[in-house]
Structure 1
Amino acid sequence: MDGHADTVVLRPGIDGIAEVFHTHLRQHAYPMHTHRSWTLLIIDSGTVRYDLGRHEHGALDRTVTLLPPGVPHNGTPTTAQGLRKRVLYLEPEQIDTGLVGRAVDHPMFDDPLLRHRVHQLHGALFRQGDRPEAESRLELVSERLRQHLRGTVGPAAHPDDPGLAERLRDLLDARTVEGVPLAEAARTLHAHPAHLTRVFTRRFGMPPHQYLVGRRVDLARRLILEGRAPAHAAAVSGFYDQAHLNRHFTRILGLPPGHYARARRMGAPSRLSGASERP
């Protein structure tokens, strides 16, 4: 492969994702090969031609491609500028292996919502400290892929379990600082992770990871009001570091925590200059 400087490889430490791979291919053509994982591909520029299951396919920058584990495939960029792609290698159990045949027959999805969700997942994986967001976005992506492969994409209703969203909220409130992995929450509440995320989002208007971040920002805000330094507030509120707090604090409140701390000091009550004088 040429263009090594344009390649990024990440092992994110998220259950269900074996590897993240970003690269710019200019001339390299992949020979026939297989992966043990599901290969989830989006293209940022260029196009690629590939063979899968003895059929020729092509992938465009608006589509999502899912190549199943254990099935030989190749790949060749078809434009002069090469191919910029982002790939997620999903663990085999992330998608029912009984759907491999469907993926061989229909490996490409022209689905703007799915592509946007995959893009958001890549962003979360490369932001330090955003593991809860990455987990919930992975579940949404995986659910959409399963729906495509089963032919059930559409507005099918999913009945809510009364109180399920509230039970997850209580769990997040109890573990705001340390957090709770989505898979663990699903086991604790006896619900599928994707269903849990969907029910919570419908009930509270935001996904669980966004709720958890808001609770952490609220905790950091109270600590800063008590006079704690932003770095300390970040450490004890569950943020990866102060930069992680800065990003979310600014997004929610419109100013960084350092400015918030200075504004608090300027607005603090102080003695009047003549307070010690007799009336």
Structure 2
Amino acid sequence: MNKKLLEGIIDMHVHTNPDIRHRRYDDFELMEAGIRIGARAIVIKTHQGTTVDRAYLCNKHNELTHHSDNNFTMFGGITLNRQMGGINPYAVESALKLGGKVVWLPTQSARNHLVKMKQPLDRCVDVLKDGKPVPELYDIFRLVKDFNIVLATSHISPEESYRVIEAARDAGVKKIVVTHPEWWLVDMSLDDQVRLARDYDVIHEHCFAQPLGGGKYKSNLPMNLEAIEACGYKNVMVCTDGGQVENPCWEDALAQYIQYLIDHNIPENQIYHMTHTIQANLLDLSI
């Protein structure tokens, strides 16, 4: 693999400790891994709330320990699960004022997640009511638009995604990411991915692997290749959704992903676009 493809790379979906579920790296360890491979940025995510303050501490730690001898930046965001009060514009406003770059809709509190996992619905956070976005979601659309940051669909269903994306576009939201549409829990068809890319110019985030239960994971790479070919590389973003102890460490997963694309004849300029350019545009970064 051309190691230069890792230089300046940006991953917008990685899980770290501290977390209720143990992760392979903590925030600082992931930061060091990013610096080692010459990454430009990583966005850390948690299902428990916000990572904005954790990203700030990583950047301060980087400044103090590496004395600004690298170009790496850690970013955070907010996930609108029950712990954050669900669809809570006040929590979103605070996160964005503190530098958050992504608003993730509900993950483990999403109705679709709870139904698919056969879990009780008493902690459900709904994004729709009577087929329309809940009123608070429009306030969040306004904040996302005003701060020019990313709205990510997380674990909501394809049907919910369509309605939310349409309403978000109508509200002026420019940066919309469909979160791991290939994951069995989201289960968005390739036809639907193509339609969303064509009609709403969304970015589909395709990740390295997906959980099957019992500590086992399934590679997403064949499905991701199909999505790139069907949707076009300009609408597919390479991410890892890394951090699981069962998977390779973050930088190895990234290298394997890129090598797979090379081995299947995806041109390096397209790989660069999916690993650098899309993310830089979403995060307003120079690369």
TM-score > 0.5, shorter chain as reference: no
Q: TM-score, structure 1 length as denominator?
A: 0.23
Kindly name which structure, 1 or 2, has the bigger radius of gyration based on alpha carbons: 1
Q: Which has the higher contact order (CA 8 A, sep 6+)?
A: 2
